[in-house]
Amino acid sequence: MILSNSDQTLYDELKNSSYLSRSNTTVHYSRCPGRISFSKHCDYVNNDLLYMASDFSIIAASQVEFKSLDAIQNEDQSNNNKFKIQIHNLNTNFLDFETEFHEKLLSQHKEQWYFYILKIIELLKAKFPENVSNISKILLVFNNNLPPAGGMSSSHALILSTLHSLSNSCKITKYSQILNDIDSASAEEIQEILIFCQEVEHAKGFKSGLGDQAALLLAKKYKFCFIKIYPELQYSYIDSPENLAFLILPSLIKAEKSSKEYQNSVKYFEKYNELNDFWFQELTANDSSAFFLGDLLYSHSSADLLIRINEIEDEKIRNLSLYALAEGARLKELKENFSENKLYSHINLSHSAEIIDTKYYSRQEELELESDLSTHVGAYRSSTAVNDAIAMKAMKIDGIKACSIMGAGLGGNNIALVDFSKINQIIEDLINMYNKSSILPNIKEKQLLINTSSNGLEQII
């Protein structure tokens, strides 16, 4: 396989790392990119999802040592489930970790970055005891240029690169065959991997959907990937326009999803998780094929849905319902009849629903009942004042076609869709925009991350 220049650098640094053993034990390398999302909060209501893999990645290297037959036969049975584990990260911002793996280990390290790795090992140990029981040592070393807590799903990239590498090192054939050749895997096999990764995220304390994991598994270079999760996984691809680049614009606000501050800020979003039940009771009681709000876009007209939205008395439910259905309607149109202009319109309207200015908090959008859902906005409001300022100011720069916050919100990055032929001038204008603003942070050029897309999870051989 051919690595990009940045991935080749990550790989070379890992390969030459002093942490990796120079024994005959095989090193298994796995690369997983971050993801660029053009469909926020959509997997919770089963809307179509739209993703692309970023050019920035995490690479995991693993070495596993197994016990000798003599050691197994002579082993004290009380210790036969314990083994050594070492975790290193070439990025010095992340703590290294070394211990003996045991059952109570996870509860002691839930706030650490390597908790994800410990949980993966615990789950593999429970699901595939015949593979893990004979291990004497697991060594994992990571290198990355993917910004953490920046709305690019770095936690899922860490989970998937670790799972892939360990599946190969631990000879877990069921998972390694799927992950080594995603194109040949069935929807059911891929779904099993997605649920495994979701279980790891849930253990950390964040109720993730399945969309981000699917994006990182299924992405292809220079392709937009459309994904629908239920009732069974479906996905398709559309070529990315040749002169379009995707520029990450940082807010420098870390979206720490497992933090108490983040959890306290998302009380409003709890209503979003009620939408499926709310609409199911009203509209889908006699329709066994529709269990999620997004399914109604395939069975009801815009006019029918807008009339029902207009009748909802709870303002939060009303605004969130309009947001979910409008977001889903635009994505459905993009999948069925893609155009650049539709994409730009979707991104910009999507951010309008995220704006947090208090004057929008109680505003109810005037519904034109004969209009199309895709022209509406609703209100989700997971942006920040800084992310809003980035979006509004960036759209005044020549060559920037669309801009919106990415990821779960409350921090992280914005994504700007830009004319690649003007990229140098755009970057110069953005640096000036940041550094002359009283609300935006001062940044350096290297903090503006240029993406043209990449492949998803892959083994490095």
CA–CA separation, 5 and 13 (whole Å): 12
Q: Per-residue pLDDT tens for 321-335?
A: 999 999 999 999 999
Q: Of 3-7, 122-126, 432-436, where does mean pLDDT reach its minimum?
A: 3-7
Query: Mean of the pLDDT values across residues 363-367?
Result: 68
Q: Per-residue pLDDT tens for 86-114?
A: 999 999 889 999 999 877 788 888 889 99
Check: CB of residue 415 under 8 Å from CB of residue 347. yes
Tell me how long the chain is: 461
210: tokens are 């399945």
The overall average pLDDT reported for the chain is: 89
Which residue shows structure tokens 């309009």? 322
- pTM to 2 decimals? 0.90
CA–CA separation, 106 and 119 (whole Å): 7
Contacts of 1 (CB under 8 A, 6+ apart): 458, 460, 461
Could you give the C-alpha distances from 321 to 81, 206, 228, 287, 409, in angstroms and in order? 49, 22, 19, 19, 18
Residue 286 has pLDDT above 60, yes or no: no
Confidence band of 387 (pLDDT split at 50, 70, 90):
very high
Confidence band of 78 (pLDDT split at 50, 70, 90):
low
CA–CA separation, 96 and 204 (whole Å): 19
Domains in the chain: ranges and CATH: 5-239+456-460 (3.30.230.10), 267-343+362-375 (no CATH)
- DSSP-derived 3-state class of residue 398: coil
CA–CA separation, 337 and 327 (whole Å): 15
Is 25 exposed, middle or buried (CB count within 10 Å of its CB: 0-12, 13-18, 19+)? middle
CA–CA separation, 220 and 301 (whole Å): 33
Say if strands 83-89 and 135-144 run parallel, antiparallel, or are unpaired: parallel
Residue 265 has pLDDT above 70, yes or no: no
Buried b (16+ CB within 10 A) or exposed e, 432-455: ebbeeeeebeebeeebbbbbbbbb
